[in-house]
Structure 1
Amino acid sequence: MFNHPQSDASTGTSGGDLVEISTDGACLGNPGPGGWGAVLRYRNHEKRISGSDPDTTNNKMELTGAIEGLAALTKPSRVVIYTDSNYVRNGITKWVSGWQRNGWKTADKKPVKNADLWRRLVDEEERHEVTWKWVKGHNGDHYNEIADELATTAARQIAGSRR
């Protein structure tokens, strides 16, 4: 995606360079047609990506936005991900290690919802040095608003194609 400078051999990540990714998910009904969006920023470059699913949930789209944002990076990077989803941020920073220890079961021994997506997010995160930041949704954060528009547009497009 972006042309990163040569990687630092000791860390596998690019020197002081930082990629910022703002992600969001949207669902028209829950479940229903959904979309995800991500805005990737590196130096003075910006890339916007999005996608959709005809029958999904909001949480799946929130996770997919983060997964696809990280997957779009072609080299290991230092990354800050901005999300308005406490589900995603808390899941990856607080809950996932326990789920892994418990064989992808919750503390009350139930299967983790969206375990396939959580596994993909863990795999993508392991390629990078990631910091997770929560932003309040629909509160004027410029890049969160763009990610929301990407996700909502993708959801509307897939919903329209089903008619």
Structure 2
Amino acid sequence: MQKQQPSLVIFTDGAARGNPGPGGYGIVMFWGPHKKELSAGYRLTTNNRMELMAVIVALQSLTKKNLPVTIYTDSQYVVNSVEKKWLDNWIKTDFKGGKKNKDLWLKYYQLSKQYNVKFKWVKGHAENEWNNRCDELATAAADGNNLLIDEGYENSINIMQ
């Protein structure tokens, strides 16, 4: 009899103080009895970018490929873009019409091919303990020192100026 692997469960959240403004992401990952938390802050970004960045960083931190992964997020932007196949259409049309966050969506798309990713939406700032913990991590990161540079975002606004 083959031993069943524990399921990989990830909670993510993104935050921005102003939109755009300083931002951060928070991640809580569960693999069987193991729990890992990740977060980082950026000096200038948007909420949607941080929501998506949390998912990307979580997937980048995995060491085993081809795992079933369930990601819980309060971002309808992320859930709907993937689950309703909006992202597939954006890629086909090369993000025509000014769809935002192309750099991050392409990064997510490449990563997602290595896993069986399923998204589940959870209500933000509600009863979900792990979504609330991710929010704490994300906002603390946004309010922290030594903020990173969201090069994709800052380069895009420099081009428009």
TM tier, shorter chain? 0.7 to 0.9
Matches of 2:120 and 2:114, distance apart in 1: 18
Per the alignment, residue 40 of structure 1 pairs with: 29
Task: Give identity over the alignment, percent.
Answer: 43
Q: Is the CA contact 1:83–1:144 (under 8 Å) kept in the aligned structure 2? A: yes
Matches of 2:43 and 2:147, distance apart in 1: 10
Per the alignment, residue 148 of structure 1 pairs with: 135
Q: Deviation string for 1:108-162 (max 9, x for gaps)? A: xx1220000001111111110111100000111011011111100000104999x
Structure 1 unmatched runs, 5+: 1-7, 9-13
Matches of 1:131 and 1:79, distance apart in 2: 6
TM-align CA RMSD? 2.0
Structure 2 unmatched runs, 5+: 149-161
Query: Which residue, 92, 97, 102 being the options, matches 2:93?
Result: 102
Per the alignment, residue 109 of structure 2 pairs with: 122
Query: Which residue, 12, 21, 24 being the options, matches 2:10?
Result: 21
Query: Which residue, 58, 61, 69 being the options, matches 1:79?
Result: 69
For residue 51 of structure 1, report the CA deviation from its aligned partner. 0.8
Query: Which residue, 119, 124, 146 being the options, matches 1:137?
Result: 124
- Moved segments of 4+, more than 6 Å: none
Secondary structure of residue in 1 paired with 2:27: strand
Secondary structure of residue in 2 paired with 1:157: coil
TM-score (norm 1): 0.83
Give the letter for the 1:97 counterpart.
D
Q: How many residues align?
A: 145
For residue 102 of structure 1, report the CA deviation from its aligned partner. 1.0
